[in-house]
Structure 1
Amino acid sequence: MTEAHESYGQFMLLLGVVAVLGIPLRSALRKMALPALVAFIGLGVAISAADQSFGFLTQRLDDGIGLLAQIGLVALLFRVGIESDLGRLAGQMRRAAAIWLPNMILPAVLAFALIWAWPGFGLVPALLTGIAASATSIGISTAPWEEASALQSDNGALMLDVAEIDDVSAVVLLGIVFAVVPNLQNGNAMIGEAVWAGGVQLAKIALFSGVCYLFSRFAEPRLSALFSRFDRQTGPFVFAAGTVFLIAALADMLGFSMAIGAIFAGLAFSRDPEERQIDDAFAYVLALFGPFFFLSVGLSVGFETIWTALTLAMALFLALFAGKLIGAGLAAWAVAGRKTGWLIGMSMVPRAEIFLIVMAHGLSLGSWAVPQELYTASVLAAVATCIVAPLIVSRLLANEERTTEATT
């Protein structure tokens, strides 16, 4: 009992410290045009390094951080879904899809080829890294556009549409790869089983998405209205919060990922008339629990592997950077012009939640899937994309604004 109480005390201490530090860290990084995840991943790495000397991270505390990280991840991806404008997306689907396809394929191919050719890795690490590299972090991508008040422009809308398709397709791939990878552990002998598992998983995801659509179309409006009558102020949010965790849990039980459930739940609620109220309320959940997802990423970094992983991290960063810049940039150039091409290509470069989920899942499977050195290099490369790309996008948007002012 005493040991349990000590663990709870440590848990509450960490929760309080991260919550209190979160606001000034976000504020300081926002002034530098940097995402807050940089600080929280760095904090996780620092705690991991300190633990090597003092050994204060107990299994209970680690499990508690993992739970908070999952809540934060669900809140993060729910907001990605609920902030999606499906009506606008349908209107720009042809233009956005023309950019989305090379935007997904090229970085996946480059990352796969890099890890496949790198000494000491094989098919499964290369496959996981390639799938992870195909994703974009919509939250990081949109931040500089919002700061420049450019997100509502035609170019901003196009960028947002591409990022939304990117995120949805990435979580679908995430669900498929979770089913396929375990069958590849023993090599080519299991290829047939992997293909079958992937097909079954895709069918299950299609059925799951259909059920979510029916819920969104017929049940959600009535249930939201009912809970609003019970409690006008908190009813819609509490109903949405309960539902998103139920859908995330269902997705997890079906063998997908809670990430799929969270983003599909967000899409289901994106049609709700109370969407803005729900979204604003979930911002508080995300502010409290979101940092723990990135903290857990930092904690999983092998501090002893950081120096040996630096060369791989730099090579992977170049693959991640070039894949999106060229894949999305050239396609956007063809669709909307050179300046828009550079802007959208650079905006697609950041990798965060989906990229890190895939690599963390591989790490949890064992070194045959994602060795510690590769995971560490992936985290470093992802953080670099989230630092470099927003700074460049901010400058490009500022230059575009000055050019527009000069010509008017």
Structure 2
Amino acid sequence: MTETHESYGQLMLVFGAVALLAIPLRSALRKVALPALIAFIALGLALSAADESLEFMTRDLRDQTGVLAQLGLVALLFRVGLESDPDRLAGQLRRAVVIWLPNMAVPAALAFALIWAWPGLGPIPALLTAIAASATSIGISTAPWEEAGALQSDDGALMLDVAELDDLSAAILLGIVFAVVPNLHEGNGTMGQAAWAGAVQIAKITLFSAACYAFSRLVEPRLSAIFADLDPRTGPFVFAAGTVFLIAATADALGFSMAIGAIFAGLAFSRDPAERQIDDAFASILALFSPFFFLSIGLSVEFDRFGATLSLAAALFVALVAGKALGAGLPAWAVSGRRTGQIIGASMVPRAEIFLIVMAHGLSMGAWAVPSELYTASVLAAVATCIAGPLVVAQLLGRTRP
């Protein structure tokens, strides 16, 4: 009993310290046009490095921090879906698809080729890295546009549509690939079994998507109204919060990722008239728990061969940047002109939530899926993209650093 109390005491210490650090860190990094996740990943890296010698992170504390990280992950991706506009996206789909398809395919191809050719890695790590590389980070991509007051422009709307398509398609691919790769692993199955697993997963995701759509059209408005009548101030938020975790848990039980469930839950509530109220209320959950997702990413890094990963991290960073600059920048240039191509290409560069989710899940499956060297390199490369992308976009939009 004493050990349990001590473990909870350590958790409360970590929770309180991170919560108090969150706002000052966000404020400081916002002044230099950088996302706060950089600081939280760096804090996780520092704790992991210190734990190598001090061994103060107990298994219980790591597990409990992992629970907070999952809460943060669900909150992050629920908000991605909530802030999406399916109707606007459908109206812009033809224009956005011209950019979206190469924007996913080119970075995926570059990342796959790099990792497959890298000594000691192979096709499965290459496949997972390719899926991760195809995504972007919509929150980080939009931040410099909002700072410049340009998000409502035609270029801003186009960038937002492409980023939303990126995240949605990458999340769906994530659910399919993680059902397939265990069968591709040597000794675990055949290509036929892998294809069958993929087909079953596609069918389940299709049915899950249809169920979420029906819920958003037929059920959610009625239940949300009932909760609002019972408690006008907090009812819609509590209903949304409870529902998002139920949908995320359902997605996890079906063998997807909770990421898919959280995004689809957000899409289901994006049509709600109380969407702005829900979004504002969810911002508090996001502020408290999202740092722990990025903290856990840093904590997962092992420092045994840290120096050896730097060359891989540098090569992966180049592939991630070049993939989006070519895959998004050139099509956007063709559609809307050179300046638009430059800005949208740079806006697609940041990789955070989906990229890190894929790599962290692969790491949990074993070294055959994502070796620790590749995971560490991926974290470093992701942080670098989150620094480079916003800085370039801010300059292109005419925003000067303080």
Structure-1 separation of matches of 2:10 and 2:143: 34
1:214 partnered with 2:214 = yes
Q: Please give the per-residue CA displacement for 1:9-40, whole angstroms capped at 9, x wherever unaligned.
A: 00000000000000000000000110001000
Pairwise CA RMSD of aligned residues? 1.1
Number of aligned positions between the proteins: 400
- The ranges of structure 1 where at least 4 consecutive aligned residues each deviate by more than 4 angstroms after the TM superposition are none
The equivalent of 2:174 in structure 1 is 174
1:328, 1:344 within 8 Å by CA — same for their partners in 2?
yes
Please name the residue that 1:229 is paired with: 229
Q: Distance in 1 between matches of 2:204 and 2:266?
A: 19
Question: Within 2, Cα distance between the matches of 1:279 and 1:182?
Answer: 37
Percent identity between the two aligned chains: 75
Q: Deviations over 1:108-143 (max 9, x none)?
A: 000000000000011111111111100010001000
Offset, 1:399: 7.0
Q: Does 1:359 pair with 2:363? A: no
Aligned-partner Cα distance in 2 for 1:307–1:383: 17
Contact 1:305 1:376 in 2 (8 A): no
Amino acid at match of 2:60: R
Structure 1 CA distance for aligned equivalents of residues 101 and 284 of structure 2: 34
Paired residues for 1:15-34 under 5 Å:
15-34=15-34
* CA distance in 2 between partners of 1:132 and 1:85 (Å): 23
Q: Using the alignment, how far apart are the partners of 1:89 and 1:44 within structure 2?
A: 36
Task: In structure 1, list runs of 5 or more residues that go unmatched.
Answer: 401-408
- Give, in whole Å, the separation in 2 of the partners of 1:309 and 1:19: 31
1:1-400 matches, within 5 Å, as 1-186=1-186, 190-398=190-398
TM-score w.r.t. structure 1 length? Answer: 0.97
AA aligned to 1:374 is L
Q: Distance in 2 between matches of 1:45 and 1:327?
A: 31
Amino acid at match of 1:78: F
CA distance in 2, matches of 1:187, 1:206: 29
Change beyond 3 A, Cα 1:26–1:193: same
Structure 2 equivalent of residue 406 of structure 1: none
Counterpart-to-counterpart distance in 2, 1:40 and 1:399:
25
Distance in structure 2 (CA, Å) of the matches to 1:187 and 1:36: 42
2: CA distance, partners of 1:393 / 1:48: 32
Please say if residues 182 and 188 of structure 2, whose CA atoms lie closer than 8 Å, have aligned partners that are also in contact.
no
Partners of 1:335 and 1:294 in 2: CA distance: 35
- C-alpha distance after superposition, 1:257-298 (max 9, x if no partner): 100000000000000000000001111100000000000000
Alignment partners' CA distance in 1, 2:258 and 2:52: 31
Q: Which amino acid aligns with 1:118?
A: W
How far does residue 155 in structure 1 lie from its aligned partner after superposition?
0.4
Q: Is the 8 A contact 1:236 1:278 kept in 2?
A: yes
Give the Å deviation of 1:188.
Answer: 9.5
| Maintained 8 Å contact 1:350/1:389 | yes
Deviations 1:300-346 (A, max 9, x none): 01122321100000000000000001000011111111110111111
One-letter code of the match for 2:184?
L
CA distance in 1, matches of 2:40, 2:101: 32
Q: Distance in 2 between matches of 1:312 and 1:24?
A: 33
